[in-house]
Amino acid sequence: MDLWNLTLSIIFLLQTTVGILGNFSLIFYYLILYYRQCTLKPTDLILMHIMAANAFIILSVAVPQTVTAFGLKEFLNDFACRFLIYIQGISRSVSIGTTCLLSVCQAMTISPRESCWKDYKHRAAKYIGSSISILWVFSMLTNFISIMHSFISRNSKNVTRKRDYGYCTIFVRNEISDLLYAVLVVCPEVFLSVLIAWSSMSMIVILYRHKQRVQHIRSTHGSSKTSPDSRATQNILLLLSSFLFFYTLSSILRGCISLFGNHNWWLTNINRVISLCFPSFGHFVLRNP
């Protein structure tokens, strides 16, 4: 094993270990919280589904990639490979969708009374559960259409490329499959990323204005302790920057790999590492949203 493969193996192993321990610990925490209270706050419910989606990403992406990085290759057949890719697509879509839902929900919650959200903020909590269910169903359908088209067209004469995942290889991706994948999967991811950016920036503006209003009150007490508004703003900024950086860059790389068949070893593995960063380490940010 050369130096680069050893480094890649260590990175995948670190992401797998941290991601499994972190996501499952938070899932168990919310399950215990639900067992004690028989209910969860809307944000807690969203966070639990984010952790569940991220855990599926770790299990379906990081685990096989770690095994492959340590030398075991091509251990899945065609059907198992496509099914694993299907799980990966669902998990990624739900992770992005629920993160967007969390950001919008928080923006509505802290919005002032005179804002346009005033008539919706109290009713929004009732639809959190159904919204999450719709996200799961929508992700299943869109990824199912994409994967089924590639599965049906695998014997087509137009199929001239193969996709090497390390743990398996599939012969797919004619032009129609690439366009279908971009429309059904990549475009919604970009749209949700833009919506997260908008709602998060709205929260930062609201918190900054609130801090300006009460700044003279805090200054009279002479306290140097960081205010709750400042800590909330820092958490939002950290969540925004980490999500947008890792997921947007990953979406761009996935789009390049999907649309341009001549991808190299570096582009593929960099995309794999980047796509696992937020699912593996995002729980550190989401622990205190």
- Given this model, what pLDDT does residue 53 score? 92
Q: How confident is the model at residue 146 (pLDDT cuts 50, 70, 90)?
A: confident
- Given this model, what pLDDT does residue 173 score? 55
Do 243 and 196 form a contact (C-beta atoms < 8 A)? yes
From residue 139, alpha-carbon distances to 66, 80, 136, 280 in Å are 26, 19, 5, 21
pLDDT above 70 covers a percentage of the chain that reads 74
Domain that holds residue 97: 3-215+231-286
Q: What is the C-alpha separation between 54 and 88, in angstroms, rounded?
A: 10
Highest mean pLDDT (candidates 1-5, 189-193, 261-265): 189-193
pLDDT per residue over 108-130, tens digit each?
877 776 666 666 666 777 788 88
- Given this model, what pLDDT does residue 261 score? 57
Contacts with 119 (C-beta within 8 Å, 6 or more apart), sequence order: none
* pLDDT for 159 beyond 60: no
- pTM (two decimals): 0.83
- Given this model, what pLDDT does residue 137 score? 93
From residue 225, alpha-carbon distances to 220, 230, 270 in Å are 13, 10, 41
DSSP letter, residue 76: S
Total structural domains within the chain = 1
Residues in the chain: 289
Highest mean pLDDT (candidates 26-40, 46-60, 72-86, 176-190): 46-60
CATH number at residue 165: 1.20.1070.10
pLDDT per residue over 1-30, tens digit each?
577 778 888 898 999 999 999 899 988 888
Residue 226 lies in a domain: no
Residue 220 lies in a domain: no
CA nearest neighbour of 99 among 17, 204, 194, 181: 194
* pLDDT for 156 beyond 70: no
Residue 96 lies in a domain: yes
pLDDT per residue over 205-257, tens digit each?
877 777 777 665 655 555 545 556 566 666 766 777 788 888 778 777 776 77
Residue 163 lies in a domain: yes
Residue 25 lies in a domain: yes
Across-strand partners of 171? none
Helix (H) or strand (E) holding 86: helix 78-110
* pLDDT for 140 beyond 80: yes
* pLDDT for 136 beyond 90: yes
Residue 22 lies in a domain: yes
Residue 221 lies in a domain: no
Residue 224 lies in a domain: no
Q: What is the C-alpha separation between 213 and 230, in angstroms, rounded?
A: 13
- Given this model, what pLDDT does residue 220 score? 54
Averaged over 127-151, what is the pLDDT?
A: 83
